[in-house]
Every structure is written in structure tokens, then in C-alpha cells.
Amino acid sequence: MNLNELTIAEARKGLDTKKFSSVELTQASLDHIYERKDLNAFVTITDEVAKVEAKIADKRITKKESGALTGIPFSVKDVICTIDVRSTASAKILDNYIPPYEATVIKKIRKQGAVLVGKTNCDAFGHGASNENSMYGPVKNPYDETKVSGGSSGGSAVSVADHQAIFSIAEDTGGSIRQPSAFCGVAGFRPSYGRNSRYGIMPMASSLDVVGPIAKTVEDIALLMEVIAGHDTKDSTSVPDAVPQYSKNLNTSVKGMKVGIPKEYMELEGIDEETRKIIEEKIQSCKELGMEIIEISLPLTKYAIPVYYIVVSSEDSSNLGRIDAIRYGVQVDGTSLINVYANSREQGFPEEVKRRIMIGTYALSDGYYDAYYRKAQKVRTLIRQEFDEAFTGVDVILTPTSPFPAFNFGTKTDDILAMYLTDVFVSPAAVAGIPALSIPAGKTQSGLPVGLQILGPRLAEERVLQVGYSIEKTF
Ligand code: GLN
């Protein structure tokens, strides 16, 4: 087995017992990144930084001062600020932006001595579900290069699935961690809103954005959550609740747990038959773990997509208003200052970002605010309450992560609604602010991965990870 194919837990053992060094492990990652540049997972490869960090990590390991992540190569989605390392959000408007500060979650990871190998490609500013909205080209699916990687964190998912990095840190506003993880056969976790600090994440929709890990196993996800979760004085929406020892408690038995299956999800029109079958088999196999399967109904979640796209666009139009194109990327001449802004934003943002800004500006405008934004927020509360109510009867809820596996390039780019509808199973948890984990559930006949999604009550990350771990370990 190549070193870059190890999990965090395996690499930790090898590093601590000196079977190999961080320098060797990092080199294996970097070599593979260059070997598979054709997949286009990275916007920026930080080989110089990585080599220095790996040497420092090896010294820490020798002095027996290592933490869980010391010496482990990782990648970061390009919407997350990394100090002194170019962070473009995959948009030309930030083509040469080098942040003078670092996102809190990345700071925590690097403090442990993890090694940054690069910044991953994504849909620009996190807008998309196929990675086709990146201004640095789409990311290919390693299982079938004619298919999309999923989005928006396609580069992060591919970097882990193709063993270019041992784990990745990404952002999920409405599915961007879970859906590409499902398409690429890796584990991806969206924690509850507020569990992790958002400081240093370029905001898309501030009331929905969360940052979370993509890794090869649930055990690795738990290890990462232990490092990154917790309150941050720089993000007033981060919660002060104590962070459980996720990895220590993973093995807790799930026997007797009640698993809710929302009938509206499995009966959805347009769900791919093979996907439905794979998920149904996985659900049935939960019985072997002593879990009780209960059919539930979540009728309001059909409004999750319309609510999501109104809230996201509205908050987007406000958040992205600050990007003026004066300092950090394409700047196009104009006849006046306003004209320079307009021309530069026209060229520096891709179509999808401009579409969201326009929809959001409209939804927030005088006379429409009540009809769109306020109404969406009210329905959002009802969706959250519906989940709260459901969780009084069940411990977790299982659904497919995506209604279909990875699709061909270009098939949804001209049909915006079809692209938005790919989020049907991932947007409800986002709107409700609850934790959601995607784990590999199997593969279609043509070899494409299918993801199973596990939802839990707000701040019940521990339970969601325990269920994911049991399913992963047993099957
Ligand atoms: N598909 C979602 C969107 O385009 C994903 C966004 C995200 O989670 N960053 O809005």
C-alpha cells in the first residue's frame, strides 16, 4: 500500500512508530497530486510550505510532542482562508488574494502540525453541485472521468478519494461537503450550525455556512471533529457547548436505537432506481445492528429547496457585495469608478454567482422582502420544528445523500432547476441547522459510489458519528 493511501489513524501509528516520516508521507501525497493533475483537484499546490511543515512535524514526533494530526498531509477548500497562502474561492475576482489571517479551524489543525499540501478547487464561492462553476475548470470524478466530482467541494472530495491528501477541510452551506463525498465514495460531515467556528470562511450564506471534514473513514471524521469543534470568540454564532470526545465514544453500541426513514425521500419522483435499492439494502441491514426501523413523514421538507435558494441568494447578495475587484484579481477598466466595479464583477464572477446575487437582490428589495426573504425564514422555522418533532420519536434519520450518482459533464449546466434539485436530500439538514454525515453505501453496476446520509438532532454529532461508524464497520 502506498503511504498516501493510509487513513489518519493508520498514518498516526506509522509516524509515531517511525515506520515512515512525515517528509516521506508528504512526498507521497505531493507526488500523487502531480501524477493526477488531470483530475484538477487543486487550484494551488503548496509543496514548498508542505515540505517545511513536514520537517517540523518530524521533529515534533521525535520529541514525542505529536498530536492526532502531526505530520499528516491535508488539503483545504479554496473558500477557506489560509494565512500567506493564495485563497481564490475558485473565482478570478480573487485570483491573487493571499489572506493575512487564517480560519480558526485551519489554525487549530495546523497548530497540531498537520501539513498543508494545497488549496482545492470548488464551485466559485461554493455555488454549485458539480464543480462546473469553478473559474479554474471542472474537477473530474476519479471513478469515471467523464462524470462530475460533485460540488461545491469537488476538489476536496477528489483529493481524499484519489489519495492526494489524507483528509480535507471544506465548507457546506447546502450540501457541498456531503454530495461530492457521496459522488466520490468518501465520508463527509456537516456538523450542526455553530458547532465549528466560521471565522475565516468566505461567507456564502452566513446563516447556513458550516465548515467540516472530508475523510476516508468515520473514525477519521471523529478525530478531526475533536480538533476543530468548539466555541470561538471570533465567531459569535459558534456555540459554547462542551465538545464530546467523539473518537473515544465511537464504539458505543447502537443497539435499540430508533432509525427514522422519511417516506417522502424514498418515494421521490426522479430518484435513481439503483440508488434507491442500495440505500434500502443498507437500511435493512441496520436491523442486524439491533436498530429499529420506523417509517416517518417529513412533509414540509419539500419546501427546503425553495427556502434554501431564497435565503442563500439573499445572504449572498449582501455578503458578496464587499468584493469590489480593486485589489485581488481581474480588474477591468471603465469610464467611472462604478463602471470599473461593474465591469470587473461582470468578468470576475461566474454566471451562477451573478445569478444568485441578482435573485437575492430582488428578494431583499423593497416590497419583495416580506413575500420572499421573510416568508422563507418563516417556513425555515417550520422545517426546523418538523425535524425537532421527528427526533422526539427517532434517534437518527437515514436518507440517500443524492437522488442519483455522479452525472456526466454538461448535462445540468443549461437546466438550472435540475442542478438545484440535486440538493433535494442535502438542503433540509442545512436549512434546519442539524448535523448530517454522508458515508459510502455501495456502488452502482457501472462502479459509481452511492452515499448514505445520517441526520441527527441539533448538536448530537456524537450519535450521528456512532451510527455512521457502526454501519461502516459492520458492512
Ligand atoms: N449545491 C449547493 C448550492 O449551490 C451547495 C452549496 C454549498 O453547500 N456551498 O448552493
Of the candidate ranges 348-352, 374-378, 418-422, the one whose mean pLDDT is the lowest: 418-422
CA-closest candidate to residue 402, choices 467, 448, 445: 448
238 CA to centre of ligand 1 in angstroms: 21
The 10s digit of each residue's pLDDT in 10-40 is 999 999 999 999 999 999 999 999 999 999 9
For Cα atoms 293, 288, 222, give the angle at the middle one, nearest 5 degrees.
Answer: 85
176 lines ligand 1 (CB under 6 A): yes
pLDDT at residue number 261: 97
Dist. CA 410–CA 305, nearest whole Å:
22
| 149 to 104, 158, 329, 403, 449: CA distances (angstroms) | 27, 7, 26, 15, 11
CB atoms within 10 A of CB 63: 8
pLDDT at residue number 269: 86
The 10s digit of each residue's pLDDT in 342-353 is 999 999 999 999
Say if CB 136 and CB 90 are below 8 A apart: yes
For residue 380, the surrounding DSSP H or E stretch is helix 375-390
* pLDDT score of 330 more than 90: no
* pLDDT score of 267 more than 90: no
Say if CB 232 and CB 199 are below 8 A apart: yes
Share of the chain above pLDDT 90, in %: 95
The structural domains of the chain, with segments of one domain joined by +, span 1-296+378-475, 306-371
CA-closest candidate to residue 350, choices 205, 200, 155, 152: 152
The three-class DSSP label of residue 334 is coil
The 10s digit of each residue's pLDDT in 169-193 is 999 999 999 999 999 999 999 999 9
181 lines ligand 1 (CB under 6 A): no
CA-closest candidate to residue 21, choices 227, 29, 218: 29
Peptide bond into 152 cis (omega under 30): yes
152 lines ligand 1 (CB under 6 A): yes
127 CA to centre of ligand 1 in angstroms: 5
Catalytic residue list contains 21: no
* Homologous superfamily of 1-296+378-475: Amidase signature (AS) domain (3.90.1300.10)
Atom of ligand 1 nearest to the CA of 423: 1
Task: Report the sign of the C-alpha dihedral through residues 140, 403, 174, 179, in that order.
Answer: negative
pTM for this predicted structure:
0.98
Dist. CA 342–CA 336, nearest whole Å:
10
Dist. CA 80–CA 88, nearest whole Å:
9
* pLDDT score of 392 more than 90: yes
Atom of ligand 1 nearest to the CA of 127: 4
Share of the chain above pLDDT 70, in %: 100
Residue with cell 499540501: 117
Active-site residue among 134, 159, 176, 314? 176
Dist. CA 156–CA 41, nearest whole Å:
7
Average pLDDT, the chain: 97
Peptide bond into 247 cis (omega under 30): no
Atom of ligand 1 nearest to the CA of 79: 9
Dist. CA 345–CA 421, nearest whole Å:
27
292 CA to centre of ligand 1 in angstroms: 32
The 10s digit of each residue's pLDDT in 100-134 is 999 999 999 999 999 999 999 999 999 999 999 99
State which of 173, 407, 416, 420 you would mutate to test the pocket of ligand 1, scoring each by most atoms of that ligand within 8 A of its C-beta. Answer: 173
234 CA to centre of ligand 1 in angstroms: 24
CA-closest candidate to residue 194, choices 169, 222, 231: 231
What is the grid cell recorded at 433? 441547522
126 lines ligand 1 (CB under 6 A): yes
176 CA to centre of ligand 1 in angstroms: 5
Say if CB 115 and CB 73 are below 8 A apart: yes
Catalytic residue list contains 282: no
Residue with cell 440535486: 422
172 lines ligand 1 (CB under 6 A): yes
For Cα atoms 31, 9, 55, give the angle at the middle one, nearest 5 degrees.
Answer: 50
pLDDT at residue number 475: 79
| 41 to 169, 174, 346, 421, 430: CA distances (angstroms) | 13, 21, 26, 24, 25
What radius of gyration do the chain's Cα atoms show?
21
* pLDDT score of 325 more than 90: no
423 lines ligand 1 (CB under 6 A): yes
Distance from the first to the final alpha carbon of the chain: 22
Q: Estimate the crossing angle of helix 8-16 against helix 47-62, to 10 degrees.
A: 50
Atom of ligand 1 nearest to the CA of 129: 1
In this prediction, residue 229 has a pLDDT band, given cuts at 50, 70 and 90, of very high
Catalytic residue list contains 176: yes
pLDDT at residue number 156: 99
Residue nearest to atom 4 of ligand 1 (CA): 128
Q: How far is CA 211 from the centre of its chain?
A: 7
266 CA to centre of ligand 1 in angstroms: 22
* pLDDT score of 423 more than 90: yes
State which of 176, 201, 209, 210 you would mutate to test the pocket of ligand 1, scoring each by most atoms of that ligand within 8 A of its C-beta. Answer: 176
